[in-house]
């Protein structure tokens, strides 16, 4: 159990409740972050999926951009999923929203089309063992460029990266908070200071939030 860790989940918009549920299910304290003061004392931060333009504007409205960037600059673990990945990127293919430029990747928003074009795909994710991960893509972005300091953790069958890591920062195109498989959350907890992730450990799925 990782009760000593306190992971924040940006809670201004998007799937923050689902991420918090998974974190608590693996023994981590989950703190909902709505103001800069809520970042104090965190061991890591998740920026969840949602609507990236709205998320960007709310982060600016609540003065969260600079404090989140400072948290990452201090070497804290940060993970962006879907819209969160867009916010972490160094560049995107559209003019809006304005990303924070924390990870050396390029990202295309809504790369697969509209909501009706959402899909699911089994992926092998580097570091998570031999069991495939069932990933859910909803109006998902895709990574168009990967910098030299960035490791690709998973790609689609056509070769496009959908999960990357740069130091203690992670980004995923898909929504791990919507599955019962908590391995990616446990891997992120290890980046935030928990025990090393063991891909050989027994797999214990977490109940989905209701």
| Cβ neighbours, 10 Å, residue 131 | 13
Catalytic site residue 175?
Answer: yes
134 is catalytic: no
What is the spatial distance between Cα 171 and Cα 47, in angstroms, rounded to a whole number? Answer: 9
Beta strands 103-108 and 89-92, pairing class: parallel
Would you say 109 is a known binding-site residue? yes
Among residues 21, 82, 95, 134, the one annotated as catalytic is: 82
Residues 6+ apart with CB under 8 A from 34: 11, 12, 62
138 labeled part of a ligand binding site: yes
Distance CA 59, CA 114 (A): 24
Q: Of 70, 177, 185, 200, which one is the catalytic site residue? A: 177
Taking the C-alpha atoms of residue 153 and residue 54, their distance in angstroms, rounded to an integer, is 28
User: Is 19 a catalytic site residue?
Assistant: no
- The tokens for 70 are 């400072």
Annotated binding residue at 52? yes
210 carries a ligand binding annotation: no
Radius of gyration of the chain (CA): 15
Q: Are 99 and 91 in contact (CB under 8 A)?
A: yes
Catalytic residue among 19, 21, 38, 175: 175
User: Which residues fall in the annotated binding site?
Assistant: 50-52, 109, 138-139
- Give catalytic residues, as residue numbers: 82, 175, 177
User: Which residues fall in the annotated binding site for L-glutamine?
Assistant: 50-52, 109, 138-139
């Amino acid at each position: 159990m990782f009760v000593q860790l306190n992971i924040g989940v940006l809670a201004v918009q998007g799937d923050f409740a689902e991420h918090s549920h998974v974190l608590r299910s693996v023994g981590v304290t989950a703190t909902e972050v709505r103001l800069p003061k809520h970042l104090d004392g965190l061991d890591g931060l998740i920026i969840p999926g949602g609507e990236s333009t709205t998320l960007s504007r709310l982060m600016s409205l609540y003065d969260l951009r600079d404090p989140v960037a400072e948290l990452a600059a201090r070497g804290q673990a940060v993970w962006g999923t879907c819209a969160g990945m867009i916010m972490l990127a160094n560049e995107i293919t559209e003019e809006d929203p304005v990303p924070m430029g924390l990870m050396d990747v390029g990202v295309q928003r809504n790369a697969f089309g509209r909501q009706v074009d959402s899909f699911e795909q089994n992926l092998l994710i580097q570091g998570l063992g031999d069991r495939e991960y069932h990933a859910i893509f909803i109006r998902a972005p895709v990574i168009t460029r990967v910098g030299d300091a960035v490791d690709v953790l998973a790609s689609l069958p056509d070769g496009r990266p959908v999960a990357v890591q740069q130091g203690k920062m992670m980004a995923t195109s898909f929504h791990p908070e919507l599955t019962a498989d908590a391995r990616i959350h446990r891997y992120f907890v290890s980046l935030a200071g928990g025990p090393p992730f063991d891909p050989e450990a027994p797999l214990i799925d977490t109940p989905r939030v209701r």
